Amino acid sequence: MTQQSADNAYYVPQPSRWPITGACALFISLLGAATWINRGAAGPYILAAGAALLVYMLFGWFGTVIRESEAGLYNAQVDRSYRWAMGWFIFSETLFFAAFFGALFYMRWHAVPDLASGDTSELWPGFKVGWPTMGPGIEGQLTPMRATGVPLINTLILLTSAATLLWAHRGLQKGARRQLTLGLFATVALGVVFLGLQFGEHYRAYTQMKLTLGSGAYGATFFMLTGFHGLHVAIGATVLSVILVRSLRGDFTPDNQFAFQAASWYWQFVDVVWLLMYVLVYWL
């Protein structure tokens, strides 16, 4: 094969066990979660097994891709395919959060006002329009989360992490390995601090403020949005930790850095989602 034909060839990997492994991991995790919700004793153990299998699949699959890339099997067309794939993945994540923000918007500005107006108000006499609210028919005192304190600190933390990640990228572009690794380490550390503060906030909401998923419209939307965002921060911090280890190993260069760029795109997406969440969930 000539060099020109090799450059134009699109690499097709050998059959892999990782897709079926991932499918089995997701099925076991779903089965475990459903068993746990229905108070099955084996639920947590099944869920843990599914999660462990999923982590094994992720490290195995991505490890295979890394080895193929380092072996020089990918050309520019494969690189473009990965960039498009990452772009579509982030777009799908955008739609995921858009659905939750849409549910919040619908309940806050349409469903709740409708329950206290017109003929519908006769179903729930005495129910007054306001947000945050538990909704009609749910007894108890609602204590909403405030925009100050932990949420404000976490906003500053994520904004700072965006700056440290950009600083790390600048270091990679100019070949400053120390700047790259320090920036990545700072970003991961800030992500861990964010998760610790958010966990403390959720624990205080459950134990002291009596704000739970069962606290009507406000409790459900609050925990669904902040909980899923926290999961995405955990995923992003894990991915950046792997990028940090690879950077210490000297894997990336100014001309070969897509894995770093993909992780950076994901982290900046998580930052933007949090800014919207801070305004729409905590502030307004």
CATH, residue 180: 1.20.120.80
Torsion of CA 203, 206, 211, 216, to 10 degrees: 110
Mean pLDDT by 10 residues, the chain (284 residues): 52 88 95 91 94 92 87 85 93 94 88 76 73 73 83 96 96 92 96 96 86 81 91 93 92 86 95 94 87
Domain total of the chain: 2
Shared domain check, 277 and 152: yes
pLDDT value for 208: 83
Closest CA to 264 of 243, 248, 245: 243
The answer to the question of residue 233 being in a domain is: yes
Shared domain check, 147 and 20: no
Task: Answer with the one of 74, 97, 113 that is the final residue of a domain.
Answer: 74
The answer to the question of residue 89 being in a domain is: no
pLDDT value for 35: 94
The answer to the question of residue 97 being in a domain is: no
* Range of the structural domain that residue 247 is part of: 138-283
Shared domain check, 269 and 145: yes
The answer to the question of residue 222 being in a domain is: yes
Task: Answer with the one of 74, 93, 109 that is the final residue of a domain.
Answer: 74
pLDDT value for 7: 55
> What token pair was written down for 8?
């134009």
Shared domain check, 62 and 150: no
pLDDT value for 56: 94
The answer to the question of residue 88 being in a domain is: no
CATH of the domain at 40: 1.10.287.70
Shared domain check, 55 and 175: no
pLDDT value for 160: 97
Shared domain check, 50 and 186: no
The neighbour count for residue 221, using CB atoms within 10 Å, is 21
- 165 touches 188 (CB < 8 A): no
Closest CA to 270 of 243, 242, 238: 238
- 244 touches 181 (CB < 8 A): yes
- Between helix 216-248 and helix 177-207 the angle, nearest 10°, is 160
Task: Answer with the one of 74, 91, 125 that is the final residue of a domain.
Answer: 74
The neighbour count for residue 12, using CB atoms within 10 Å, is 7
The answer to the question of residue 79 being in a domain is: no
Query: What are the backbone angles phi and psi of residue 253, rounded to the nearest 5°?
Result: -135, 165
The model carries a pTM of 0.85
